[in-house]
Structure 1
Amino acid sequence: MATATAEAEMRQRLLRTVKKEVKQIMEEAVTRKFVHEDSSHIISFCAAVEACVLHGLKRRAAGFLRSNKIAALFMKVAKTFPLAEELCRKVQELEQLIDSR
């Protein structure tokens, strides 16, 4: 029971971190009208997403990369980060399975 509680708390903490990073990116976009891909906020966001993926948070994979902006971000990150590349590949495989049904 204690491990389930600790697991739930860890997931909530990871999700809060991702939400915080998204908020910082949005604030930067509003104040500067542009967010460069090498921005420290983007790097922090990628690190937060990586922590979630490594921790094993599971989302509905079929809808994960449906948004063009999110897919583009993951494809760009995948060029230099093998785990992101693997995630993109697996999601594409799942989408192909779903589309073939």
Structure 2
Amino acid sequence: MATVSDDELRQKLLRTVKKEVKQIMEEAVTRKFVHEDSGSIRSLCAAVDACLTHGLKKRVGGLLKSYTTAALFKQVAKNYQPAVVVAQKVSEIENELEMFKSK
């Protein structure tokens, strides 16, 4: 039985994420919006989760000033109003975690 190398698995995971993003973009164009309960959103989340589970790390230096979840939500919140509340909550939680770690 052939085993999949780490690099091949990484490439497969990244192709899957790209495919899911393309699917969401197509859905957004044809329907003018993408509902949060859409199967496309769930598929993208599963693909991203698989990448994170595999250990693929962030390499978005040009996109975000810092590499935190809060920074990602702040970036999304610039163009998507519902993400503002989520960004604030995530920022609060990350601040609390940093305070807890420093004690």
Q: Indicate the TM-score class for this superposition, using the shorter chain for normalisation.
A: 0.5 to 0.7
Structure 2 counterpart of 1:96: none
In terms of Rg, which structure is larger? Answer: 2
Q: Which runs of 5+ in 2 are unaligned?
A: 61-65, 78-82, 99-103
CA distance in 2, matches of 1:59, 1:45: 16
Q: TM-score, normalised by structure 1?
A: 0.61
Q: Which runs of 5+ in 1 are unaligned?
A: 77-84, 94-101
Q: Which one scores higher on RCO, CA 8 angstroms, separation ≥ 6?
A: 1
CA distance in 2, matches of 1:19, 1:60: 15
Matching residue's letter, 1:57: L
The farther-off stretch of 57-66 and 32-41 is: 57-66
Q: Paired residue for 1:67, among 75, 81, 86?
A: 75
- Secondary structure of the 1:67 match is helix
Name the count of aligned residue pairs: 78
Structure 2 counterpart of 1:97: none
Q: TM-score, normalised by structure 2?
A: 0.60
Identity between Structure 1 and Structure 2 (%): 62
CA-atom RMSD in angstroms: 3.6
CA distance in 2, matches of 1:7, 1:22: 23
2:63 is equivalent to residue 55 of structure 1: no
Deviation at 1:63, TM superposition (A): 4.2
Superposition map of 1:7-86 within 5 A: 7-60=6-59, 62-63=66-67, 65=72, 67-69=75-77, 72=83, 75=86
